[in-house]
Amino acid sequence: MPASGADALPAALAALPAAPLCVGYSGGLDSSALLHALAASPQARARGLRAWHVHHGLHPQADAWAAHCADVCAGYGLELTVSRVSVARDGGDGPEAAARAARHAAFAAGLGAGEVLALAHHRDDQAETVLLRLLRGSGPDGLAAMREWRECGRGRLWRPLLALSRAQLEAYAQHHGLRWIDDPSNAEDRYDRNFLRQRVLPLLRERWPQAPAALAQSARLQEDAAGLLEEGDALALAQARSLDPHALSRSALRALAPARRARVLRRWIAALGLPPLPAQGVARIDTELLSARADADAEFAWNGARVRAWRDLLHAAPQRPPLPPDWRADWDGAAPLALPGGGRWHLHGTDRFDAVLRAHPRAGGERIALPGRDHRHSLKHALQALGVPPWERERLPLLSAADGELLAAGDLLYSARLQAWLRERAARLEWEP
């Protein structure tokens, strides 16, 4: 075997990260070559090298594949973690995407703090990914395809073989007499990636032998371009932020160019950990929320999340129902009060209230005697004066005395009576929404 084939994989692993190492090990050719090369490295073993097999349960031989991986790892003297995952077979994105999502969810949940998970994706995989993204109409972020490094849970994913071809990995595996699994589903061209691998890329190579390398090079250039765009996105997002990370200034967003605004909105949603905006999401926000009246309660909801417009703010958060209208709870302050749908109320600085108080939701028409005022004020107007947006008012718990006097709205407003009581004891209320 040519020296370049024998040496290519170890050379790609010469600079190991200074972190605990794990290998994503399916038992197939690519991951078998990567695992063998790392198992042969004293430096990798010194970093606590282990292997990780994800059992998708999609093939009748899945148990036998897991047993094969266990046998190989035992021969190397390496620990093997097997994660069984449930793959949604009826998802709209198809079985390939569902299996990948389940696998990466397992990785994100199971990686140790600072641990690096090495994956065996290579140049041909990258070329297929670029083609798939092109056919989906992706921009620079998508066409950057698979990055060498990315965050994952408490650790990071590392793809050290993106510059190598599958032929180089196969040559390495044959040179070392490795055993690997051939998944028969890889021969089914009804799957998009298999169709590209078996029918499209061979045709491209006939005319352009360098096609996979050129596509991978395009991915690297797109990654550079995406990095430059991200710098501008971060600056624009910082300028649009309010004190609340869930809220952006609508006027600042309107001042951005449409293409930049779309990127900023998607970056903001991702930073909040919300589901990605759907294809029409940015257009809906542009047309229905950014230009809505200041007093309108305009919103766009998707996949359990919601963006709402109010005054100059655009607010994004998971969808949460308002407090149930019939909810009531007696509270003496001795222990935190759990609120329906999540959240708590705490009394700090004193043991308990002098009497049992009643917690309840807003019903409308409430009035409160604020400190320093000689008459009661509308709670609605008082909250509006504080700039409390509608989505917070919906889940704002109220606290009343036995005689019905309104004493508190969350920890945002206190009545004169309650504020005097709290000051005497250097106490305070805390509302965790």
Is residue 155 located within the same domain as residue 22?
yes
Is 29 annotated to bind a ligand? Reply is yes
pLDDT of residue 402: 93
Range of the domain at 112: 3-220
Residue 265 sits in the same domain as residue 348: no
Cβ proximity of 116 and 20 under 8 Å: yes
265 in any annotated domain: yes
Half-sphere exposure of 19 (CA within 13 A, CB side): 17
Do residues 304 and 354 both lie within one domain?
no
Residues 23 and 99 in one domain: yes
Long-range contacts, 385-388 (Cβ 8 Å, 24+): 386/412, 386/413, 387/311, 388/412
Whether 132 has a pLDDT exceeding 60, the answer reads yes
Same-domain status, 216 and 262: no
Q: How does pLDDT run across 206-235, given as a tens digit for each residue?
A: 999 999 999 999 999 999 999 999 999 999
**Is 80 labelled as part of a ligand binding site?**
no
Whether residue 257 lies inside any domain: the answer is yes
In angstroms, the CA 356 to CA 358 distance is 7
Residues 248 and 291 in one domain: yes
Beta bridge partners of 330: 358
Structural domain includes residue 225: no
pLDDT in tens, 352-379: 999 999 999 999 899 999 998 878 989 9
139 annotated among ligand-binding-site residues: no
Q: What's the CATH code of the domain at 85?
A: 3.40.50.620
Q: Are residues 85 and 190 in the same domain?
A: yes
Q: What is the DSSP string of 323-339?
A: PPTT--EEE-SSSPEEP
Q: How many CB atoms lie within 10 A of CB 81?
A: 14
Query: 298 and 207, same structural domain?
Result: no
What's the whole-number mean pLDDT along residues 173-193? Answer: 88
CB 317 within 8 A of CB 305: yes
Residue 348 placed within a domain: yes
Give helix then strand counts, H and E, for the chain. 17, 20
* CATH code at position 252: 1.20.59
Q: Tokens in use for 14?
A: 């010469």
Same domain flag for 65 and 118 = yes
Per-residue pLDDT tens digits for 238-266: 999 998 899 999 999 999 999 999 999 99
**Does some domain include residue 183?**
yes
Q: Is residue 15 part of a domain?
A: yes
Q: What is the pTM of this model?
A: 0.72
The pLDDT assigned to 1 comes to 38
Q: How far apart are the first and last CA of the chain?
A: 65
In-domain check, residue 424:
yes
Please indicate, yes or no, whether residues 119 and 35 belong to a single structural domain of this protein: yes
d(CA 215, CA 129): 9
What mean pLDDT is predicted for residues 161-179?
95
Task: Specify the amino acid at residue 412.
Answer: L
User: What DSSP string describes 300-358?
Assistant: EEETTEEEEEETTEEEEEE--PPPPTT--EEE-SSSPEEPTTS-EEEEESSS--SS-EE
Q: How many C-beta neighbours within 10 Å does residue 198 have? A: 14
Q: Pick the last residue of a domain from 299, 318, 337.
A: 318
Query: Does the annotation list 142 as a binding residue?
Result: no
28 is in an annotated binding site: yes
- Beta-strand ranges (E) seen in 173-282 are 247-249
The verdict on residue 323 lying in a domain is: no
Residue 334, number of CB atoms within 10 A of its CB = 11
| Neighbour-count burial for 208-222, b at 16+ CB within 10 Å, e otherwise | eeebbbebbebbeeb
- By C-alpha distance, which of 320, 321, 293, 323 is closest to 309? 293
User: What is the domain count for the chain?
Assistant: 3
Instruction: List pLDDT tens digits, range 383-432.
Output: 988 888 888 888 899 999 999 999 999 999 999 999 999 999 999 999 99
Residues 191 and 313 in one domain: no
215 in the same domain as 177: yes
- The answer to whether 30 is a known ligand-binding residue is yes
Share of the chain above pLDDT 90, in %: 77
Non-local (6+) Cβ contacts of 64 within 8 A are: none
Can you name the residues that pair with 241 across neighbouring β-strands?
Answer: 248
| pLDDT over 60 (residue 91) | no
The pLDDT value given to residue 433: 79
